[in-house]
Amino acid sequence: MTPPLRIGNASGFYGDRLDAMREMLTGGELDVLTGDYLAELTMLILGRDRLKDPSAGYARTFLRQLEECLSLAHDRRVRIVTNAGGLNPAGLADAVRKLADRLGIPVRVAHVEGDDLTSRHPGSLTAHAYLGGFGIAACLREGADIVVTGRVTDAALVTGPAAAHFGWAPGEYDRLAGAVVAGHVLECGTQATGGNYAFFRDGDVRHPGFPLAELHEDGSCVITKHPGTGGFVDIGTVTAQLLYETGPARYAGPDVTARLDTVRLTQDGPDRVRVDGVRGEAPPPTLKVGRTRVGGFRNEVVFVLTGLDIEAKAALVQDQLATALGKVADARWELVRTDRSDADTEETASALLRLVVRDPEQAAVGRALSGAAVELALASYPGFHVLAPPGKGSPYGVFEAAHVPRGEVEHLAVLDDGRRIPVAPGADTLVLDGVPQPPLPEPPPPGPTRRAPLGLVAGARSGDKGGDANVGVWVRTDEAWRWLVHTLTVDRFRELLPETGGLTVTRHVLPRLRALNFVVEGILGAGVAAQHRFDPQAKALGEWLRSRHLDIPEDLL
């Protein structure tokens, strides 16, 4: 039997904790250390960087971390795999080699390319296919110490090292699916160890440690963390991350389609959760392509309305600006009632009226607010003031997803010596369709209920996928599951979150996780960079749901 592979994570996004790489390298045993730096918004940011400097386009913080930690990784024989290459993996690989030469540390640096399809998508700032892990595996099998990629799936940072270590072939779907699940749990760093967790008071999450997976040859794993680090790992923290930014039970990727409805979680000791039973199917015949472009320009101003007649004051401002706003492509008002009656501070006596304007032309959004709004300073409602004066307007981005046949993408492993190894797509594919509705447990017998927040019995985690959002909801007992699955229907979900009214909402049932996953289409407009709503990545949508009141059986409370 091949020994288990210990894979840790040291970054969940571009801007994550700089000390994490050192913490992971010094905190315990590791074979591979991964770093995830890319997201939809990050690709747009890197694209704008590259416009200013063609040699840019990668996550520069990775180099800062590596300068301090390359010697540690080399001495401990820990391989590093990261997607910090962003739009320019070859450029980052060269920069790592120069850094290693300057430090006098002999390392072999390889990179993966082929994801960049921008030239095929005129008008796009970036267009990149999501590659799988077998390019990473090819680099590691050829002796790379550091592998830099561009746009691979987040889970590919784990499936690649696992395939190299265990010798997996592309068709070993159950094993690959287990690695995808492990990769999905690790990809967001401390979200698996108590960060952003609904029941955060169950442990000390002031400085959570980063997670690691002990991955086995059959695809099963144990999710844990280094001894003595903060945070905690339990079935709930792993469940929450499994639901993050997912949709149906079929979780499709370039290497395999993992069946989330087969995942089995077991507490395996303190800060240890065993993940097994995962089944896999062939991947779809196409690869997802993430495209970003500049959508236009936006500007905003927040008016402060204090004391009495809040709604009348808001109506006055809207009437006064109606003519000016008629000249912009899009204008949105939102009244946020943060005010209280008979408040003992001015701030708590005040509501916020937010205006956001968008237009293809920067001059239009600048004039609409910088001129018209400021001119109201002495001519509007009593107590007129704004949180900050509006500026000239700034560009906003749009994220769009497309798909391309797998055979049209040239996936390449580029080795330290310059050799270029083509990575062939797997032979089998599967056109995805829906998973049949699983059998539901019997509803609980009638009994006394109490009006209370859903969050007293259920956890939730939410996130974004382009313009859509998902809200995963789970409970911790079979009794609570019997109640939840029959109570939290799509209609009840819409009732609790009125902002989802009129939008397509789909419910996916995951009985093994005691979880429901709701996908809300279009709630985020053109995606995070467009800032369609005040919570543009839907990070708190789940917490809003948990705060809503409904009738809950008293024996669950």
254 assigned to some structural domain: yes
Q: Say if residue 269 is in the same domain as residue 417.
A: yes
227 and 78 within one domain: yes
- CA-closest candidate to residue 369, choices 303, 312, 416: 303
Residue 77 lies in a domain: yes
- The answer to whether residue 428 sits within a structural domain is no
pLDDT at residue 5, rounded to an integer? 98
Q: What percent of the chain lies above the pLDDT cut of 70? A: 99
Find the domain containing 522 and state its range. Answer: 449-556
**Judgement on whether residues 284 and 347 belong to the same structural domain of the protein:** no
Domain assignment present for 58: yes
pLDDT score for 248:
93
Average pLDDT taken over every residue of the chain? 95
> Which of the residue ranges 93-97, 243-247, 373-377, 506-510 would you say has the lowest mean pLDDT?
373-377
Task: Average the pLDDT over each of 48-62, 249-263, 364-378 and give the range with the smallest value.
Answer: 364-378
At 281, the pLDDT band (50, 70, 90 cuts) reads very high
Q: What per-residue confidence (pLDDT) applies to 534?
A: 80
pLDDT band for position 360 (cuts 50, 70, 90): very high
- pLDDT mean over 51-59: 93
Helix axes 20-27, 60-76, angle to 10 degrees: 10
pLDDT in tens, 395-421: 888 888 999 999 999 999 999 999 999
Give the model confidence (pLDDT) of 288-297 as tens digits: 999 999 889 9
- The answer to whether residue 72 is domain-embedded is yes
349/211 same-domain check: no
Domain total of the chain:
3
- Using the 8-state DSSP alphabet, how is residue 152 labeled? B
pLDDT for position 425? 87
Same domain, 156 and 180: yes
Say yes or no: 415 and 456 in one domain. no
Q: What is the 3-state secondary structure (H, E, C) of 119-149?
A: HHCCCCCEEEECECCHHHHHHHHCCCCEEEC
pLDDT in tens, 57-89: 999 999 999 999 999 999 999 999 999 999 999
Residue 178 lies in a domain: yes
pLDDT band (50, 70, 90) for residue 366: confident
Strands 32-35 and 79-82: parallel
User: Does 150 lie in the same domain as 84?
Assistant: yes
Within-domain flag for 164: yes
pLDDT at 529 > cutoff 80: no
- Residues 335 and 265 both lie in one domain: no
Query: Are both 110 and 192 inside the same structural domain?
Result: yes
pLDDT at 137 over 90: yes
> Domain of 365: which CATH number?
3.30.70
Q: Do residues 145 and 239 both lie within one domain?
A: yes
* Judgement on whether residues 58 and 187 belong to the same structural domain of the protein: yes
CB neighbour list of residue 169: distance below 8 Å, 6 or more residues apart: none
Q: Beta 350-359 vs 279-281: how paired, if at all? A: unpaired
Q: What percent of the chain has pLDDT over 90?
A: 87
Supply 119's token pair.
């030239």
Contact 473, 515 (CB under 8 A): yes
- Do both 353 and 484 map to the same domain? no
